[in-house]
């Protein structure tokens, strides 16, 4: 009798596992390929749950429509900071049981929130071609120095990141950037600073463009996502990064509200945060790991190139997404009007 009860329990577990085919949705491209090797395939092997990998462009409308119509067929989704904050406030994501995900002290601060668990740390940093510049820029003031570093420079076409950078170039301390930007005077100051180099800016829209602009010699320096610079370096390009004044943020996993597989989804998230899985992800993509124990598994030379290397992170500013949720709309409107005006 006892054996048949155990067998029945195992059968129901197995059928539960079969039912819990997980749909995990991320931003696609190279990162999806790496996530497949680092997270999806090993988790499927370890748990018996099949992982169906999807991709999207970060549009929250899709998630909202699923939640509102009670037709949720995504179990885990990669989201950026503002979308996580907004989605959590609007009830689009399940609250997570942090106790199931790991000990907070093992992770970079900001990894866990009510509805999210970070999966990587990315940075917006200054990049330049080491072969084209005779001396190395050391911070954003050099980015604005058209005499010492003549030529075009490239910035992301948007208020976010660009305004923070302009204030740092104007001498605002890293710790005070958002305090200053929260005032009308601070916003005016950032735009006045941008006016100084407006005619020398070549804007970028997609993450691939900064490396293309630098490689072709169109620009002498650019803001860039650190993973893009890492990939270019791995291909032999002489690209270098200035970490001083870089901006960093955490992309997170979230579970859409009403996922039929919440427990298996949390199991997947916990699995992806393990240092062994994070090591594969970090070593291939170059985005820092949220798990502090990953670094000791990495080649020391590689670890030094990462944004989460203690020396690099100490020079960086965390992006304040609560600020951008509150002020983003008005600042982006002002930025677009400013950018459209003739120099």
pLDDT tens-place string over residues 164-212: 999 999 999 999 999 999 999 999 999 999 999 999 999 999 999 999 9
Same domain, 187 and 307: no
Q: Is the pLDDT of residue 15 over 80?
A: no
Q: Is the pLDDT of residue 18 over 70?
A: no
Is the torsion defined by CA of 119, 114, 27, 211 positive or negative? negative
Instruction: Write out pLDDT tens, residues 270-323.
Output: 999 999 999 999 999 999 999 999 999 999 999 999 999 989 999 999 999 999
Same domain, 132 and 182: yes
Instruction: Write out pLDDT tens, residues 3-12.
Output: 444 444 444 4
Average pLDDT, the chain: 93
How much is the average pLDDT of 103-126? 95
Same domain, 155 and 260: no
CA angle 24, 26, 30 (to 5 degrees): 120
Same domain, 195 and 329: yes
Higher-pLDDT residue of 19, 336 = 336
Same domain, 68 and 190: no
Total structural domains in the chain?
2
pLDDT the model gives residue 11: 40
CATH number at residue 104: 3.40.190.10
Same domain, 243 and 212: yes
pLDDT the model gives residue 109: 86
Same domain, 166 and 55: no
pLDDT the model gives residue 227: 93
Same domain, 219 and 268: no
Instruction: Write out pLDDT tens, residues 72-84.
Output: 999 999 999 999 9
Same domain, 194 and 331: yes
pLDDT the model gives residue 342: 80
Per-residue CA distances from 277 to 97, 231, 253, 254, 255 (Å): 20, 19, 15, 18, 20
Same domain, 144 and 235: yes
Same domain, 304 and 162: no
Which structural domain range is residue 24 located in? 2-121+250-313
Same domain, 129 and 243: yes
């Amino acid at each position: 009798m006892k054996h048949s009860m155990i067998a029945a329990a195992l059968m129901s577990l197995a059928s539960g596992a079969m039912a819990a085919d997980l749909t995990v949705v991320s931003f696609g491209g190279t990162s999806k390929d790496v996530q497949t090797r680092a997270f999806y395939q090993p988790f499927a092997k370890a748990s018996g749950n099949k992982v169906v990998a999807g991709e999207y462009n970060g549009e929250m409308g899709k998630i909202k429509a699923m939640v509102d119509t009670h037709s949720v067929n995504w179990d885990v989704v990669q989201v950026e900071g503002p979308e996580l904050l907004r989605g959590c406030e609007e009830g689009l994501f399940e609250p997570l049981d942090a106790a199931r995900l790991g000990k907070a002290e093992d992770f970079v601060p900001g990894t866990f929130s009510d509805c999210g668990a970070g999966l990587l740390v990315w940075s917006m940093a200054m990049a330049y071609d080491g072969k084209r510049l005779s001396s190395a820029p050391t911070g954003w003031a050099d980015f604005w120095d058209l005499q010492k570093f003549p030529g075009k420079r490239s910035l992301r076409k948007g208020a976010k990141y660009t305004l923070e950078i302009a204030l740092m170039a104007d001498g605002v301390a890293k710790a005070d950037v958002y305090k200053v930007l929260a005032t009308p005077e601070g916003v005016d100051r950032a735009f006045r600073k941008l006016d100084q180099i407006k005619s020398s800016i070549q804007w970028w829209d997609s993450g691939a463009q900064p490396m293309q602009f630098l490689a072709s010699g169109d620009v002498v320096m650019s803001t860039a996502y650190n993973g893009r610079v890492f990939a270019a370096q791995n291909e032999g390009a002489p690209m270098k990064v200035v970490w001083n004044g870089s901006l960093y943020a955490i992309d997170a996993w979230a579970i859409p509200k009403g996922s039929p597989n919440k427990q298996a989804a949390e199991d997947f998230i916990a699995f992806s945060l393990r240092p062994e899985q994070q090591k594969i992800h970090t070593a291939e993509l170059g985005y820092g790991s949220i798990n502090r124990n990953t670094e000791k598994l990495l080649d020391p030379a590689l670890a030094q190139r990462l944004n989460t290397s203690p020396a690099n992170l100490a020079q960086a500013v965390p992006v304040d997404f609560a600020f951008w949720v509150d002020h983003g709309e008005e600042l982006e409107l002002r930025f677009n009007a400013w950018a459209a005006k003739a120099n």
